[in-house]
């Protein structure tokens, strides 16, 4: 499923996402961008503070799912109500840094919902319990701990084994693949993986069959 957000949406990136994840859902104002690119959302989820009047008129009322509470972002409202093998998110990686940080928070809050975010130059996702990724030797494979977490890895130039990964202590950005495959196994949810945009399809192939994290209590 493709989830469209209210940030910058590149029509080419959206079309690329829809080609692999053809059901389109919008998080609030993401409906404006989806319609502008020629995609009618199957559902719009959010508090509707950024849903345009034109989008409201164009989308059947039974597809509009208003969630009024203000304790979560529109991204969280949508992600928490979607059940799909993989959600491909477009329009969540910029340009506002505060919105992007809130999206990282949403990934951490809902680790059982596999979600691949597509930006202008990179893709990013919360690492599942075991990630098996096809890579090109030398390509950038960045990891960033959103919380303190330990991890094992194979195929990285700088292995993660034995590191106490944590914000403000040890991170793993600008690592790179040593060969044609990389495996990462974090001990708990909390490791963000960032790859070049060229790795979009490889990330989809890696995440679609991967077992997700258990549902949090």
CA distance 71 to 16: 32
pLDDT value, residue 70: 86
CATH second-level architecture of 131-197?
Sandwich (2.60)
Buried b (16+ CB within 10 A) or exposed e, 100-123: bebbbebbbbbbebbbbbbbeebb
pTM comes to 0.95
Ordered by start, the domain boundaries in the chain are 2-120, 131-197
CA distance 157 to 175: 7
pLDDT value, residue 94: 83
90, 100 Cβ separation under 8 angstroms: no
Which two structure tokens, joined as six digits, stand for 180? 């044609």
Buried b (16+ CB within 10 A) or exposed e, 15-46: ebbbeebeebbbbbbbbbbbbebebebebbbb
pLDDT value, residue 177: 98
pLDDT value, residue 95: 85
pLDDT value, residue 55: 93
* Secondary structure string (H, E, C) spanning the chain: CEEECCCCCCHHHHHHHHHHCCCEEEECCHHHHHHHCCCCCCEEEECCCCCCHHHHHHCCHHHEEECCCCCCCHHHHHHCCCCCCCEEEECCCCCCHHHHHHHHHHHHHCCCCCEEEECCCEEEEECCCCEEEECCCCCECEEEECCCECEEEECECCCCCCCCEECCCECECCCEECCCEEEEEECCCCEEEEEEHHHHHHHHHHHCCCCCCCCCC
Query: Tens-digit pLDDT profile for the chain (217 aa)?
Result: 999 999 999 888 999 999 999 999 999 999 999 999 999 999 999 999 999 999 999 999 999 999 988 889 999 999 999 999 999 999 999 888 999 999 999 999 999 999 999 998 999 999 999 999 999 999 999 999 999 999 999 999 999 999 999 999 999 999 999 999 999 999 999 999 999 999 999 999 999 989 999 998 7
Say which residue the tokens 């590149």 belong to: 10
- CATH code reported for the domain at 2-120: 3.40.50.10240
């Amino acid at each position: 499923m493709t989830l469209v957000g209210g940030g910058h949406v590149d029509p080419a990136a959206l079309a690329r996402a829809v080609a692999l994840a053809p059901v389109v859902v919008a998080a609030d104002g993401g409906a404006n961008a989806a319609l502008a690119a020629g995609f009618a959302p199957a559902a719009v989820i959010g508090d509707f503070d950024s849903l345009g009047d034109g989008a409201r008129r164009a989308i059947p009322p039974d597809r509009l799912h208003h969630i009024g509470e203000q304790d979560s972002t529109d991204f969280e409202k949508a992600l928490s109500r979607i059940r799909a093998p993989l959600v491909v998110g477009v329009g969540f990686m910029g340009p506002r840094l505060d919105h992007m940080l809130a999206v990282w928070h949403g990934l951490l809050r809902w680790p059982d919902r596999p979600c691949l975010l597509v930006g202008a130059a990179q893709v990013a996702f919360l690492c599942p319990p075991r990630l098996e990724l096809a890579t090109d030797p030398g390509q950038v494979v960045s990891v960033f701990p959103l919380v303190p977490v330990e991890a094992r890895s194979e195929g990285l130039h700088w292995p993660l084994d034995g590191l106490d990964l944590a914000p403000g202590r040890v991170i793993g950005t600008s690592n790179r693949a040593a060969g044609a495959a990389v495996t990462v196994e974090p001990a708990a949810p909390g490791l963000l993986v960032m790859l070049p945009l060229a790795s979009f399809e490889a990330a989809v192939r890696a995440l679609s069959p991967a077992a997700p994290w258990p549902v949090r209590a």
